[in-house]
């Protein structure tokens, strides 16, 4: 099987050895180290060689008789050979006889090869005595020659190889200096030009009107839109419900009442809703009843039978009152308890009854016990609970609603303090008065306070002031500044609108534009530019601030020039 022989140079490091190993095209590679090579006297390096050979699917052999290197090869699992022609063995198989110096080694060792030709001839070998090699390697003279040879090889290297590091550092530095120069003199230069304009102040004052309808507003005509800003604050307090309510079934039954009819054509009506009470328990009629005396014979010794014209029939009895002839009738009416509860199941009785019916002239009684009344007691909200909670709710209303409203208004609008209002809705109980409070529910009393204020767009006011002022200016004048307009005597006009007097101060001066200054500034020296700007009508002073201390000329690029027009203080 063909093998590739790699001669390790004294200056090779572990990366050089691994690179040569991987670059070899043979499956078997023999590494021939020089005498006393330091790079292979490391267990880590020999293991790295082994891993590199394994990953490249190659068999590596170290050609050496150095006992120390044989031991390191053993720790890495690399076979060794005495020379290029001997059979490789694992270090554990080597005998004392194998450790003796071989008589056959390479014709040229790395030390004997010329510095210019570092590629060995893998085919030529010769025989020398191994004991002589060992003797030479141990002499100080050989060590000295090795060092001198290494120095000579370095001297013979090309200039670029010897000074590669300094050449790279110098090149990077030169590129950096070039880039720094480009930035400093082409990119970085910029300037800010501040120009103060001499102006005169004019006071503006004019009557204007306002409307809360956006469609009716007209800035041109001095009629401004007032927008309503509002903030709603929910106020709520919890309270305890103390009311009790019986929501069971209501009892019902029939009540009998004696009524007197004196004339044949007369009638007595018991209206629906008539109240009958028994020992404090109230009942009302579910329907009315009309009682009449149908048959009457004034010559008869007895009064004819009296009958009721309505169904159900009225129980009747015939009587003859002393000194007067008439009929005392008994009417039967159905009634229902006014409240739920089993206490309304009244037993039959002829006593204890009363009524608000004015036509009753005799007894009121029930023949049959009332039935159907049942009790089911619930906790409910009662009016006294709500009244008690209203004081705590009122304390919450006096919160920070106004400050929250004012903080929500931007600086672009003017709030009109005289239009500020607070409106608190009627307190609402949840559950409502008389409603059940279910288990786990805490009654709550709540209300909503709405804070409102009218606001005015400042931009509309400024636009109106500027438009009115411009109409009075000369062609070479302009408005440089308009102070925040304000209103005096703001009031309602009686027609749903408002009126006020609008006031402001404008500062007017000669027309100086940024374009004019930019045109004069491009490419000029800073001192020269300042002199030119001061000669412009209306300019009282100017200041040029370069971006860096070395910038003495204004750039030609308008994007690198900032112009600030300021009104003279």
The answer to whether the CB of 238 falls within 8 A of the CB of 545 is: no
Mean pLDDT of the chain: 80
Read off the pLDDT band of 155 (50, 70, 90): low
Write down the pLDDT at residue 264.
55
Write down the pLDDT at residue 105.
39
Those residues with Cβ within 8 angstroms of residue 370's Cβ, 6 or more apart along the chain or in another chain? 251, 252, 253, 283, 337, 344, 345, 346
202-245 confidence digits (pLDDT tens): 999 999 999 999 999 999 999 999 999 999 988 899 999 999 88
Mean pLDDT of 191-202: 90
Query: 136-140, 200-204, 526-530: which has the minimum mean pLDDT?
Result: 136-140
Read off the pLDDT band of 115 (50, 70, 90): very low
229-240 confidence digits (pLDDT tens): 999 988 899 999
Write down the pLDDT at residue 265.
58
Tokens representing 477?
């004048």
Write down the pLDDT at residue 333.
85
Mean pLDDT of 123-141: 43
Pick 187 or 109 by higher pLDDT. 187
Q: Is the dihedral of CA 59, 60, 66, 68 positive or negative?
A: negative
422-431 confidence digits (pLDDT tens): 998 899 999 9
447-479 confidence digits (pLDDT tens): 999 999 999 999 999 999 999 999 999 888 999
Task: Summarize the chain as % helix, strand, coil (round to 5).
Answer: 25, 35, 40
The C-alpha atoms of residue 151 and residue 181 are separated, in whole angstroms, by: 42
According to DSSP, the β-strands at 561-567 and 200-211 are: unpaired
The C-alpha atoms of residue 102 and residue 205 are separated, in whole angstroms, by: 119
Pick 106 or 149 by higher pLDDT. 149
Q: Which DSSP helix (H) or strand (E) runs through 4?
A: strand 3-7
pLDDT above 90 covers what percent of the chain? 30
Write down the pLDDT at residue 104.
39
The C-alpha atoms of residue 91 and residue 458 are separated, in whole angstroms, by: 97
The C-alpha atoms of residue 239 and residue 435 are separated, in whole angstroms, by: 14
Read off the pLDDT band of 99 (50, 70, 90): low
Write down the pLDDT at residue 527.
87
């Amino acid at each position: 099987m063909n093998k590739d022989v790699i001669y390790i140079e004294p200056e090779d490091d572990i990366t050089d050895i691994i690179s040569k190993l991987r670059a070899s095209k043979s499956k078997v590679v023999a590494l021939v180290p020089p005498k006393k090579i330091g790079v292979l006297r490391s267990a880590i390096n020999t293991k790295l060689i082994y891993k590199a050979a394994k990953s490249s699917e190659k068999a590596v052999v170290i050609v050496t008789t150095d006992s120390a290197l044989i031991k390191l090869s053993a720790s890495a699992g690399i076979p060794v050979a005495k020379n290029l022609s001997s059979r490789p063995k694992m270090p554990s198989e080597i005998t004392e006889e194998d450790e003796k110096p071989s008589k056959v080694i390479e014709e040229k060792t790395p030390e004997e090869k010329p510095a210019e030709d570092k590629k060995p001839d893998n085919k030529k070998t010769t025989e020398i005595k191994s004991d002589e090699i060992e003797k030479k390697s141990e002499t100080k003279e050989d060590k000295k020659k090795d060092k001198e040879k290494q120095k000579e090889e370095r001297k013979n290297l090309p200039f670029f190889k010897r000074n590669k590091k300094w050449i790279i550092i110098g090149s990077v530095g030169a590129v950096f200096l070039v880039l720094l120069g480009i930035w400093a003199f082409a990119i970085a230069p910029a300037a800010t030009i501040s120009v103060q304009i001499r102006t005169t102040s004019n006071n503006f004052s004019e009557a204007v009107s306002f409307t809360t309808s956006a469609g009716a507003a007209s800035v041109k005509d001095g009629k401004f839109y007032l927008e309503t800003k509002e903030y709603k604050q929910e106020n709520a307090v919890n309270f305890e419900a103390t009311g009790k309510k019986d929501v069971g079934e209501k009892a019902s039954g029939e009540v009998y009442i004696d009524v007197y009819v004196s004339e044949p054509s007369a009638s007595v009506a018991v209206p629906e809703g008539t109240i009958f009470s028994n020992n404090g328990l109230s009942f009302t009629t579910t329907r009315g009843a009309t009682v009449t005396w149908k048959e009457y014979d004034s010559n008869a010794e007895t009064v004819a039978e009296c009958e009721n014209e309505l169904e159900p029939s009225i129980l009747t009895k015939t009587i003859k009152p002393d000194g007067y002839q008439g009929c005392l009738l008994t009417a039967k009416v159905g009634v229902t308890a006014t409240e739920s509860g089993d206490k309304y199941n009244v037993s039959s009785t002829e006593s204890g009854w009363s009524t608000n019916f004015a036509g009753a002239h005799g007894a009121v009684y029930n023949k049959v016990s009332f039935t159907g009344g049942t009790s089911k007691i619930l906790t409910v909200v009662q009016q006294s609970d709500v009244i008690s909670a209203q004081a705590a709710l009122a304390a919450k209303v006096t919160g920070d609603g106004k400050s929250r409203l004012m903080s929500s208004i931007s600086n672009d609008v003017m709030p009109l303090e005289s239009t500020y209002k607070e409106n608190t809705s009627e307190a609402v109980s949840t559950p409502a008065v008389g409603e059940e409070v279910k288990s786990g529910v805490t009654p709550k009393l709540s209300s909503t306070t709405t804070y409102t204020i009218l606001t005015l767009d400042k931009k509309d006011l400024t636009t109106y002031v500027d438009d009115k002022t411009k109409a009075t200016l000369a062609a070479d004048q302009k408005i440089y500044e308009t102070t925040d307009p304000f209103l005096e005597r703001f009031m309602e006009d009686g027609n749903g609108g408002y009126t006020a007097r609008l006031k402001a101060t404008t500062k007017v001066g000669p027309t100086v534009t940024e374009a004019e200054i930019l045109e004069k500034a491009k490419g000029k020296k800073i001192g020269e530019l300042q002199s030119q700007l001061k000669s412009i009508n209306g300019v009282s002073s100017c200041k040029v601030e370069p971006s860096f201390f070395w910038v003495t000329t204004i750039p030609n690029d308008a994007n690198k020039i900032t112009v600030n027009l300021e009104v003279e203080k």
